[in-house]
Amino acid sequence: MFFFKLLSRLPLFVLYWITDLLYLVARYVIRYRKKVIDENLYYAFPELSEVERKKIRNRFYRNFTDTFAETIKILTISEEEFRRRFIIVNQEGLDAPVKQGVSSLMVTGHIFNWEMGVVGTNLYSEVPIETVYLKVNNPFFNNLIKEIRTRFGGYVTEKKEFRRAMLTLGRDPRIVLLGSDQRPPASENRYKRNFLNRPAVFFEGAEVLSKKMNLHVHYGKLKKVKRGYYHYEFIPLAQPPYDSHEPHSITDTFCKMLEDNIREQPDMYLWSHKRWKI
């Protein structure tokens, strides 16, 4: 941990020099998951030419490697610098239900830099925040992720533990952050639908929780302004009562909002993930 904190004290522009090298290695030397990325882009954007999809892939490599610099920097970044680089819109809308005594959900996808999204939401919020995450097998990196995500407050709960913790949502109102585009294992309850022109499966944690407990749901729309600067907007996705909602309505709306977010800046999505493996 000491090494990463020491590295984190370097100015971000110096950390970008390091990730510039990583970018060259990822793109030209090891060609990191090039086949997976190309296949994902081919199906997601059939209307684009091969040259256009290649440009997206190359920009993806740049965003992917820059994320390492930005995420490590979180360990020691000042609140002032973080606020300058990461602007949030409508935090008050996300906080409002909790201030009135009702927990709310914020759902988002793996758009760069989602780690800054977690940290920024904790920083700007005036109410308690719980981030649900999938535990990393390596204890060191699991602890590193937890320390990064709680840099400016909030707390994290491993997904298996959240099954018990969610029982307290009524008693202890809070915002729950959920990454809702991860591919659930075959052992989980899964909802299958088209996503970016191909069948994919989704967790429906937000669907079940919101309708069972009458929770408000917001979508976190992430946009890159320029290198190292981001704009995060919390957009209302669904709100109670849910009596007239069709099955899967919240998941379907989330998928539509995430697709729109991706299409605005396609190089910002995690295309190296085998998202469409059923």
User: Residue 262: pLDDT band by 50, 70, 90 thresholds?
Assistant: very high
Separation CA 230–CA 121 (nearest Å)? 13
H or E segment at 199? strand 198-202
CB atoms within 10 A of CB 48: 15
Structure confidence at residue 163 (pLDDT): 85
Q: How much of the chain exceeds pLDDT 70, in percent?
A: 100
Separation CA 57–CA 50 (nearest Å)? 10
Nearest to residue 183, comparing CAs of 199, 203, 198, 166? 203
Name 201's bridge partners: 192
CB atoms within 10 A of CB 202: 22
For residue 263, pLDDT beyond 80: yes
- The H helix count followed by the E strand count for the chain is 11, 9
Residues 144, 227, 149: CA angle, nearest 5 degrees: 20
**Which pair of structure tokens corresponds to residue 121?**
């939401």
Structure confidence at residue 186 (pLDDT): 81
Nearest to residue 193, comparing CAs of 250, 264, 272? 250
CB atoms within 10 A of CB 45: 17
Nearest to residue 230, comparing CAs of 261, 202, 201? 261
pLDDT tens column, 127-166: 999 999 988 899 999 999 999 999 999 999 999 899 888 8
Structure confidence at residue 2 (pLDDT): 84
Cα–Cα distances (Å) from 267 to 86, 155, 186, 200, in that order, read 19, 30, 29, 20
**Which pair of structure tokens corresponds to residue 57?**
């892939």
